[in-house]
Amino acid sequence: MRPAAMSFASAVQQAAPSVVNIYSVTSSRQLANPTDKINDLGSGVIMTSNGHILTNYHVVDNAESILVHLQDGRQFNAEVIGLDKVTDLALLKINANNLPTIPQQPDLEPQVGDIVLAIGNPLNFGQTITQGIVSATGKKGLTPGATYSDFIQMDAAINLGNSGGALVNSQGMLVGINTAASPGTNNGVQGIFFAIPYQLAKRIMNKLLEDGEVKRGYLGLEGEAINQVGQPVRSTIESIAGIRLHYVDPLGPAWRSGLKQGDVLLAVNNKQLVSFAELLEIVEHVEPGQTISLTVSRNNQIIKIDVEVGKLEID
């Protein structure tokens, strides 16, 4: 007897009913021929049984109305609860109850090599499943302000209409929200796709539920990690001496507080820094208007500078 072939049917059966089709509609208001036009096509994930749905910012941005099609055939108009351009996430609400929700595991941490399934509505062909593996985690640079966002890289195909759909593991648990193909896909690069990690997406969802927006702290500076002899750190085994600033925004909070190009940041609120990314992550979670203390090396002297954190604005 041959062994049974590997199947992910159970995972799909658990997750697929909670993945919806999303159509954002704009109106053409020509005097002679006013019509409605489907402007963007995407997918979404039902997160709560009373109708909260996560999708991508780029799917619903500037939409005049949003239609949500459930897998059982029902259709609803959706309300936008909040948008976050930095993570390319949007939270919608439909007026329905007892909806199927995506299986969620709060402490789920995807690992490189995990099998994943992407569920969505590519090219409006109807719900489709693609399969791949997690290729990498912690990827940045895909969205505005993207230093603040980590993404999952995988090779499960994401096509037009898949954006906003679910990335699940082999048990059907939500791993992330599908968001993009690599910008190089049109240049012969294939098999590189990205998703927003579940834990990040859930955190953004909670902030949008609470405030309708995500408030991020901002200092207005750029820098790089340096070693004990003042050279840029190129290896993960090198000791970090601090973060040398190579740009300070003249309109930003750091400049107003007296920070200068060439300063070396050693610590934030007495916590030693190990990377520039860590600095951004710390500041991101500080409420705008609060003050933080920076330990700075300048001209071979150690000084303390207090900075009132500003609010990150994304055009």
Tokens representing residue 155 in the block: 């090779």
Residues 40, 88, 150, 263: which is the catalytic one?
Answer: 88
93 touches 78 (CB < 8 A): yes
Residues linked to residue 195 through DSSP beta bridges, in sequence order: 152, 178
Upper half-sphere CA count for residue 157 (Cβ side, 13 Å): 11
Strands (E), 85-206: 89-93, 115-120, 128-139, 151-154, 166-169, 174-181, 193-197
Exposure pattern of 95-118 as b/e (b: 16+ CB <10 Å)? eeeebbbbbeeeebebeeebbbbb
Residues 58, 135, 150, 263: which is the catalytic one?
Answer: 58
Tell me whether residue 86 is exposed, middle or buried, using C-beta atoms within 10 angstroms of its C-beta: 0 to 12, 13 to 18, 19 or more.
buried
Active site includes 43?
no
Active site includes 163?
yes
264 touches 273 (CB < 8 A): no
56 touches 164 (CB < 8 A): yes
Residues 18, 135, 149, 163: which is the catalytic one?
Answer: 163
Active site includes 58?
yes
The catalytic residue positions are 58, 88, 163
